Structure 1
Amino acid sequence: MRILIAVAPLPAHLYPGVPLAWALQSAGHEVRVASNDSLVEHITAAGLTAVGIGERTSPPVPATDEELERFSDALAFEAGSDFDRLFRATRFYLMAAYTRYHPDAEGRQELADGLVEAARNWRPDLVIWDPACPVGAVAAREAGAASARLLWGPDYFGWIRKRLVERAADPASGVTAATDPLAAALAPVFGRFGHEFSEELLLGDFTVDPLPSQLPRPEGLRRVPMRWVPYTGAVPVPPWLSQPPARPRVCLSLGVTGRTVHDGRDERVAAVLEAVAGMDVEVVATVNADQLGPDPVVPDNVRIVDFLPLTQVMPTCAAIVHHGGFGTFFAAAAHRVPQLIIGEDLGSALNSTRYLEARGAGVTLHAEGLTAAEVGKQLERLLTEPSFRDGAAAVHADLTAAPSPGELVPVLERLTAQYRGRG
């Protein structure tokens, strides 16, 4: 088979699919990964064949406050509910995922055109696409390929669609096919190639889901469970990491995407560094100069490393402090490491924190009003209370219960044969 994997230009969206791409290649299939030119280096560094589809020559027009409020009004989640908080925290990023592929004022859309052209020319049998790269569904349709979404976190897109369908069934809601904000947001992406909004284009033929079954997900979609096998990049192992730590090792990471979201000093970094100054631990902080800010106070027991793959450092750690992203969460879970999440109201953290606490695998704090004293107190608990190790083992068991990427290959072969050629 030929498999084209299409991802939005973020390493955090590429990495969850890398082990699956390896498994497909190892089974003898041809695999190519398509994204913006800016991601090509990350793709080839993972040992995969990259297809660069260009870059936008004009910035996408962000959604207006009015458009975002219309979206919120259409969903009408109960104020203060988990779904209301989740969507209000993520709606800007969801809309940005779509507008990235909208045509500009002159009708140009290099990214969408580049991806669809690559699919038409290469004729893959299966297109696996990132939900934040909705033009991947169009590429599959245009190539006559089977179409599969690959999740990198909670199925925001599925939840929203389910809710809008429920609302449209209520005449009093005011939500109709003509007022559906999701259809309106995707109309410029689908319509550019002569396709109308549909459930099939939005959600694909099936969804490859790497989240443990204990996490909530919308019902009614064809899902293919897959074990999340962490891949977090690759660099040579530094000599110091080859030596066992003399004291409990704690990792501090705010994820690869966080470096682009935050501009300048991150107060969470400062609070953690202050908290660990008097503790009998060794800290590896994978943060950059911007996150540290000017004139940072770095204790003697802290090693600052601009970048280090979590898959290298996690096996040596007794705990991790992080932002709540699922890539980081599962890199720790794969090695049964207790976690302290310092979250903000941004998408994944709202889900990972609930799951972490329910399994007893760690504790969570909110970034707002964060103090070094509270960080130190909770980190001490992680290192001394055995229950957190038990909870981390439970999350590890959840994680490894699903089929590995290698075990998924024959499943994808069967589904591809079932769905390709229907577009």
Structure 2
Amino acid sequence: MRVLHTVYPSHAHFWPAVPILQALQSAGHDVRVASHARFAGSIRAAGLTPIALGDPEAEEARSRPDAMAPARPEQVLRFAEALGLDDEEREHWIAYYQMLLNAISDYIRTDLPYADELISFARAWQPDLVLWDPIFACGPIVAKLCGAAHARMVLGPDILTFSFDKLAARKAEVVAAGFPENPQLDLLRPLAEKYGVAVDDELLFGQWSVDPMPRGMTLPSSGVRLPVRYVPFNGAETVPEWLYTKPDRPRVALTLGESVRRYIKGDWGRTPKIFEAVADLDIEVVATLNELQMLGIEKIPHNVKPIEWVTLNHLLPTCDVAIHHGGIGTWAAAVAANIPQIVCDTDESLMLLPVEVDPRTMEDGTYRIGFEFGVSEEVVATVTTWELPGKKLEATPTSSYIVSKGAGARLDHQKQSVEEIRKMILDVVTEPSYKVGAQAVYDDWLAMPSPADIIPSLERLVREHRVA
């Protein structure tokens, strides 16, 4: 069968799907991956065939000055109140409504060429199955126009479906408060109506979802779920010689994300504190940090090996512990390596706060539309930017899962002292119970169906849902 995957132009979105797409390809299916033209090289590097959308010389959608900006905090909180959310649920809503909805808007715009080009390709190629990144939300519209079966590729705890269910359950209260029944359907409506596609729940939920989250990391939500093991893929690189064998003393990986390394200056002061904590420990620390993340580091401890990039699938099997930012891809790589994890997390809300600044003097931890894509043009005027919380979007669910399983610890650089962090790292490195917990997490992970195992299920679902 012909399989089309639509994906946001980010490794954090593409890499989780690669093992499933490779399994489909290895089973004899024809696989194409559609994304922004600038991302075609990353798709080719994974051994897959890209469908390049838009002009590679044009600005990427999120870097455009007219890209959708985050909702104001007061609007986010009033909406959450109308939904009747408790404190934990409100954080899921903030992540969806204030963060993800912005990116979802990028590739469904009728004034940009991406959706039109994708629809033209799909009508000509006639895929049998469209697997769509929930953030590349034109996927279900494309599928309906060519009669393909279609499914969402869940990337982490499914806060989107969780939010859709809350909106449906509190429709009357939401409308009474002056909010739309579902803001994502409002964003999708212009593109759907342009092509005569019904605006319904299938545009939100898909016909089913491919979900790699184990029990304990899923959120209560409706919809059909096809579980799959999260097999980590983080690029194809040559293995450096120093990783051929494990070192004589414990090795700890410090890795703080593939995506945030492009726009978080100085890592919110977290890295200097961790460096100070490990400085006198009899361990080797491999810190996969770039120059931007290393800002503010005055002295690198003798036992820290900074290296800008190394594939986690090569590094982590040689390590005893991974310290990381809580990203799902890094979590999965550590699970697959069967090692304990220390997850960096804080107690602060995920809320983005607007601030008026001169862009030339932005402080650490600010978000500027487009900066992640390498756009940092000189701007003189004072602008509204957004101050980021000092943690990854998935940090809290990831740390909660690891701690609940006894497979590691939670590191809060805002509250814990250097001495407390030092003791935590030493405990996780030396205490056997954390290895036992990591083994239990690994066993649960291994018990989930592999990407190859779900191919027959995908084939059956396509037969059931494909429109002749």
With the shorter chain as reference, the TM-score category is over 0.9
Instruction: State the Cα distance separating 1:305 from its structure 2 match.
Output: 1.2
Is structure 2 residue 419 aligned with structure 1 residue 373?
yes
Distance (Å, rounded) in 2 between the aligned partners of 1:9 and 1:255 = 16
Which range moved further: 215-224 or 41-50?
Answer: 215-224
Assess if the C-alpha contact under 8 Å between 2:71 and 2:98 holds in 1: no
Residue 222 of structure 1 corresponds to which residue in structure 2? Answer: 224
Residues 8-407 of structure 1 mapped to structure 2, 5 A cutoff? 8-54=8-54, 55-56=60-61, 58-59=64-65, 60-65=67-72, 68-69=76-77, 71-78=79-86, 80=87, 82-103=88-109, 108-168=111-171, 174=176, 179-294=181-296, 296-344=298-346, 345=350, 346-407=392-453
Which range moved further: 112-121 or 272-281?
Answer: 112-121
Distance (Å, rounded) in 2 between the aligned partners of 1:225 and 1:216 = 11
* Change beyond 3 A, Cα 1:295–1:332: closer
How many residues are aligned here?
416
Distance (Å, rounded) in 1 between the aligned partners of 2:317 and 2:411 = 24
Provide the identity percentage.
Answer: 38
Instruction: State the Cα distance separating 1:255 from its structure 2 match.
Output: 1.2
Instruction: State the Cα distance separating 1:261 from its structure 2 match.
Output: 4.6
Which range moved further: 172-181 or 44-53?
Answer: 172-181
Distance (Å, rounded) in 2 between the aligned partners of 1:155 and 1:247 = 39
Name the SS for the 1:292 alignment partner: coil
Which range moved further: 4-13 or 68-77?
Answer: 68-77
TM-score (norm 1): 0.92
Greater helix share, structure number? 1
Distance (Å, rounded) in 2 between the aligned partners of 1:182 and 1:76 = 19
* Change beyond 3 A, Cα 1:171–1:84: closer
Distance (Å, rounded) in 1 between the aligned partners of 2:233 and 2:91 = 29
Name the SS for the 2:69 alignment partner: coil
Distance (Å, rounded) in 1 between the aligned partners of 2:252 and 2:51 = 38
Give per-residue Cα distances to partners, 1:327-374, cap 9 Å, x unaligned. 111100112111111125443112111111110101112243454322
Residue 374 of structure 2 corresponds to which residue in structure 1? Answer: none
Instruction: State the Cα distance separating 1:177 from its structure 2 match.
Output: 9.6
Distance (Å, rounded) in 2 between the aligned partners of 1:221 and 1:177 = 24
Stretches of structure 1 that go unaligned for 5 or more consecutive residues are: none
Give per-residue Cα distances to partners, 1:289-312, cap 9 Å, x unaligned. 000015542112111111111110
* Change beyond 3 A, Cα 1:256–1:189: farther
* Change beyond 3 A, Cα 1:134–1:70: farther
Distance (Å, rounded) in 2 between the aligned partners of 1:189 and 1:372 = 52
Instruction: State the Cα distance separating 1:88 from its structure 2 match.
Output: 2.2
Instruction: State the Cα distance separating 1:398 from its structure 2 match.
Output: 1.4
Name the SS for the 1:407 alignment partner: coil
Distance (Å, rounded) in 1 between the aligned partners of 2:253 and 2:186 = 43
Give per-residue Cα distances to partners, 1:148-204, cap 9 Å, x unaligned. 001110111100011111112x56873799543333243344344333431111111
Instruction: State the Cα distance separating 1:63 from its structure 2 match.
Output: 3.7
Assess if the C-alpha contact under 8 Å between 1:70 and 1:181 holds in 2: no
Distance (Å, rounded) in 2 between the aligned partners of 1:131 and 1:324 = 20
Instruction: State the Cα distance separating 1:259 from its structure 2 match.
Output: 1.5
TM-score (norm 2): 0.84
* Change beyond 3 A, Cα 1:139–1:384: same
Give per-residue Cα distances to partners, 1:31-70, cap 9 Å, x unaligned. 0111112322221111111111124384413144165445
The CA RMSD measured in Å over matched residues stands at: 2.2
Instruction: State the Cα distance separating 1:84 from its structure 2 match.
Output: 1.1
Instruction: State the Cα distance separating 1:254 from its structure 2 match.
Output: 0.8
* Change beyond 3 A, Cα 1:396–1:375: same
Residue 372 of structure 2 corresponds to which residue in structure 1? Answer: none
Assess if the C-alpha contact under 8 Å between 1:311 and 1:331 holds in 2: yes
Assess if the C-alpha contact under 8 Å between 1:228 and 1:330 holds in 2: yes
* Change beyond 3 A, Cα 1:386–1:209: same
Distance (Å, rounded) in 2 between the aligned partners of 1:259 and 1:190 = 36
Assess if the C-alpha contact under 8 Å between 2:127 and 2:146 holds in 1: yes
Counterpart AA for 2:17: G
Instruction: State the Cα distance separating 1:97 from its structure 2 match.
Output: 2.0
Which range moved further: 362-371 or 346-355?
Answer: 362-371
Instruction: State the Cα distance separating 1:243 from its structure 2 match.
Output: 3.0
Distance (Å, rounded) in 1 between the aligned partners of 2:98 and 2:262 = 15
* Change beyond 3 A, Cα 1:176–1:28: farther
Distance (Å, rounded) in 2 between the aligned partners of 1:393 and 1:189 = 47
Distance (Å, rounded) in 2 between the aligned partners of 1:341 and 1:256 = 15
* Change beyond 3 A, Cα 1:30–1:271: same
* Change beyond 3 A, Cα 1:420–1:292: same
Assess if the C-alpha contact under 8 Å between 1:98 and 1:186 holds in 2: no
